[in-house]
Homo-oligomer: A and B are copies of this chain.
Amino acid sequence: MKFTDFDKTEAYKNLSNLSEAGKKLDFTRLMSPDRVAAYTAAIKGKETLVYNWGAKKVDDKILAALQSLADETELIDKYQALLEGELINTGEGRKVLHQLLRSGAKSATGKTVSHESRDLGEFYQGELARFLSFAEKVRSGELGPAPGKSFTALAQIGIGGSDLGPRALCIALENWAAGEGIKTLRTEFISNVDPDDPSRVTASLPLDQTLFILVSKSGTTQETLTNELFVKEKLQKAGLDPAKHMAAVTSETSPLAHNPGYLDSFYFDDFIGGRYSSSSAVGGLILSLAYGSDTFRAFLEGAAAADKAALERDILRNPILLDALIGVWERNFLGCPSTAILPYSQALSRFPAHLQQLDMESNGKRVNRDGKPLAYATGPIVFGESGTNGQHSFYQLLHQGTDIIPLQFIGFKESQRRDDFTLDGSTSQGKLNANLAAQITAFALGRPGTDPQNANKDFPGQRPSSLLYGERLSPWTLGALLAFYENKVMFQGFIWNVNSFDQEGVQLGKVLAQKVLGKGSEGSGDPILDAYSDLLGV
């Protein structure tokens, strides 16, 4: 298994040679109903998540070159090695094991994964069982803030991976739980060191019925520790005992671990990166508290199904691998520096913000796995908002701007709440999906102009998009969706030969912020830093 810079591969040369022809592919000639039907692959399990690439700028020749890229760079072998505990995170000398959180006690390939003679699959399963049991005790009222009282609200204190993923997932399942008649605890999040954030959230909560979940792997995150103490002061001022209102999710080596100041503590470790931690207690505790342990188990099953599907070597039967390859094709050979994710589901309103972290923090790297600068583009900008809202916002630029931005649509046949409204012969869900189908078509085919004096009404088309769709946004589908993106980002990182699992880019800002906070009257020693902190009155 060899790690090679992308521009040193045979596949890179082949794809470079195909680049001009690829840019010239014309959707009005390329696309047909047969192509749409054929260019499809699914993740299957209890439910199904389907990927359709009919409107991507690829033909059979390009797909063959992408298959060669996958084979030459041994993507599946690298993925297997990762699953089985190899030190894929070279910069930090760590294993990468978020998939093990959802494959049971063994890896998706059936292997035991150990570290220093500890069976990590068993460790993760043990913590899973502990936090699911804790969640059910809270939900049943067996564990409450005081005798005879129950928790009705949850507030997670965390930032980055301890916030964006869990928050997006909680929002994503709220309507589903309502549609299923599942008892729900209110969920809030405190993330920003901006004091207005914890102040607003705590003022809005029934503190005496609120369970706070403190999440920090290292136990040293400045924002999170500050907000924990902010919250504890509010609890004390309300005459409440913080130790009866707080649980912790951290690593066993953190200063927060084994602290009797929490109702309970749940552990994960350095092999679970922050942005990949939604499948651990970081996401799982609040999800199972809010919507029940069965809900979180179904979520893990969906994610496990996607992890398994990602092992397939034939790219036409592996939607995740194919999407990763097409993304690289667009980034490095069609020259597209950004991509948009457009879920046609209001429940996924914050899912793009999570994917923004997942993708940009993982692959926004300019050096290879050995710390050598790279001569090609790596991770793109990722942004997005839910449709149909985006249609009335930035889609103007997507349709008629001067740059081409590859798109990924997400849709579901059914609504979550099953509370629909029929007007003019169609349901709102029908209108939503009619818009989705219309957008894919409009972006791809455009509309030729009839009046050269009014080219502002022309649609050039030739805007590529893919579609991910399922029956309904359920826990299983959400898990599959999350793992789809986690694995896509991993494959792209392998291709670009970057370490997708560290984030050294966050360090310098931390160091300089501490310099500002520690500076005396003579300044920090860094005149530019002082000039800006003076402007801001700090």
Contacts and interface: CB of A to CB of B under 8 A. Distances in A.
Nearest to A369: B456
Contacts of A196: 175, 345-347, 415-417, 419
Nearest to A363: B397
Contacts of A195: 415, 417, 419-421, 427-429, 432
Contact of A430 (B370, B506, B538): B538
A394 B512 contact: no
Nearest to A200: B175
Given A178-B203, A517-B424, A346 B194 contact: yes
A247 to B, nearest CB: 21
Interface string A425-460: 111111111111111111011110000111111111
Which of A378, A396, A516 has the largest number of chain B CB atoms within 10 A? A396
Nearest to A425: B517
Secondary structure of the A contact surface, majority rule:
helix
Contacts of A54: 531-532
Nearest to A348: B194
A533 interface: yes
Given A230-B421, A400-B504, A527 B438 contact: no
Nearest to A446: B508
Interface in A394-426: 394-403, 405, 411, 413, 415-417, 419-421, 423-426
Interface stretch (A31-39, A282-290, A299-307, A476-484): A31-39
A373 to B, nearest CB: 6
Given A391-B506, A397-B360, A428-B194, A456 B365 contact: yes
A265 interface: no
B223 A388 contact: yes
Given A381-B338, A506-B396, A532 B421 contact: no
A501 to B, nearest CB: 11
Interface stretch (A7-15, A65-73, A155-163): A155-163
A4 to B, nearest CB: 18
A506 B392 contact: yes
A392 B160 CA distance: 4
Contacts of A337: 337-338, 403
A178 B505 CA distance: 36
Contact of A421 (B229, B416, B444): B229
In the assembly, how many copies of this chain are there?
Answer: 2
A377 interface: yes
Contacts of A439: 509, 512
Which of A203, A393, A502 has the largest number of chain B CB atoms within 10 A? A393
Contacts of A507: 457
Nearest to A356: B394
Contact of A506 (B395, B460, B469): B395
A503 interface: yes
A439 B366 CA distance: 19
A193 interface: yes
B401 A442 contact: no
Contacts of A123: none
Given A512-B441, A516-B438, A193 B402 contact: no
A235 to B, nearest CB: 13
A530 interface: yes
A372 B455 contact: yes
Given A195-B417, A417-B196, A502-B456, A426 B381 contact: no
Interface string A502-532: 1111111111111111000000001111111
A531 to B, nearest CB: 4
Contacts of A222: 431
A353 interface: yes
Interface string A178-217: 1000000000000111111111100100000000000000
Contacts of A511: 438
A371 B455 contact: yes
Nearest to A381: B338
Contact of A517 (B50, B367, B379, B434): B434
B397 A361 contact: yes
A1 interface: no
Interface in A24-57: 31-33, 36-37, 50, 52, 54
A455 B367 contact: yes
B456 A33 contact: no
Contact of A536 (B33, B433, B512): B433
A364 interface: yes
Contact of A226 (B50, B416, B423): B423
B175 A442 contact: no
Contact of A91 (B223, B230, B456): B456
27 contacts: A33-B530, A175-B196, A192-B389, A195-B428, A196-B415, A197-B346, A199-B419, A200-B346, A230-B421, A361-B393, A365-B401, A367-B456, A371-B453, A373-B455, A377-B402, A378-B401, A381-B381, A399-B506, A426-B517, A434-B514, A434-B517, A437-B516, A437-B529, A437-B535, A438-B509, A442-B509, A456-B504
